[in-house]
Amino acid sequence: GSESTVIASSDSDEVRVYGVTEVPDAEVGDTNGAGDAFVAGFLSQYMQEKPLDTCVDAGHWLAGQVVRQIGPNYPEIELKFVPTADFAPTVEKL
């Protein structure tokens, strides 16, 4: 969804809150599959042992690509994730 992504871990006293860049309404085709796309983007980076910030950034990016389509589809073009330079969470202590 367009609400923040929250990550907490049992080995830390921090909660990381990542804001989502909303896709303009005029560009949204269908939100079906956005959650699955987020997981796919996240795991694509997690499996490469990238930092959590990069994993969430990739999840947001791929979900943003999918919601611009009709149905739970990926665009016909080749997709390449490039991490956002200034993507960072708000960190809160428990």
DSSP strands (E only) in 1-94:
5-8, 14-18, 90-93
The conformation of residue 23, written as its DSSP 8-state character, comes to P
Q: Which whole-number Å values give the CA distances from 62 to 23, 31, 52, 80, in the listed order?
A: 12, 12, 15, 9
Active site residue 25: no
Question: Which candidate in 11, 13, 30, 36 is catalytic?
Answer: 36
The b/e string for 55-69 (b: 16+ C-beta within 10 A; e otherwise) is bbbbbbbbbbbbbeb
> Residues with catalytic annotation?
36
